[in-house]
Structure 1
Amino acid sequence: MLNILLKIIVVPIVLILASKILPGVHFPYLYQPIVTGVVLALVGHLLEWALLKKETFWVSLVVDFVISAIFLYTFAYYYQDAYVTIFGVVLTSVVLTAIEFFVHLWLLGSGRARKEPSY
């Protein structure tokens, strides 16, 4: 539960900062990176639930990167006046994946990534 709350806060903040700092990422309205970030956080949480194990650590990170890039590119296409370049999408996805790297290490190290019920 703590993982999803962390993601819902951190991912939109990263997207807002990317929009302000990177020339290839532009979200003119504040709701756009927030909605995109919350959706990415929820999808990322579902991916962790489905994929994350010690054996699939790197696969999970690659899938996170690809999904982040696809979602960012797609969402920016549908938002009014928003745009992203391939470079901006790749750079933002790398930052999000770097954060996921540490989150995954924490989840696996703390045992929170287990799928079986705990008694």
Structure 2
Amino acid sequence: MPFDHHEQAAPVALAVHMGLFCLVTDAMEGADPDDSRWLDAAVAVLEDADQAAACDLRDVLVAIDQDYSLRPAEHKRVRAAIASVPQRAELRDLQLEAAELGEHALSVLGACRNYERTLQALVG
């Protein structure tokens, strides 16, 4: 899909980021208040992700840390988990050639798949 001049981003970048964001936030919002398995899954995926997926998952966790009411222990875990992931511009803001954007998108989609599988294994 071509660059969206209204959104100032490539639609695939928006779509894969929102897909990952919604997976994590839906799991978080659907969990009991004392259930952090949504975060356990995110941390596990973050630890095994390649740099492109790790940076996008970092962006998701930063947004959750800033915009959602987490327990203090969850805030601490989020901050510890993202500390080693380099900060970079959001995927939507990167100036990438089509092939590189495609590779990044596939990487984030892989993180989505891994998050779903990891969460399912934890929840049962």
Task: Classify the TM-score, shorter chain.
Answer: 0.3 to 0.5
TM-score (norm 1): 0.37
- Tell me which of the two structures has the higher relative contact order, counting C-alpha pairs closer than 8 angstroms and 6 or more residues apart: 2
Q: Which structure shows the bigger proportion of residues in helix conformation?
A: 1
TM-score by length of structure 2 reads 0.36
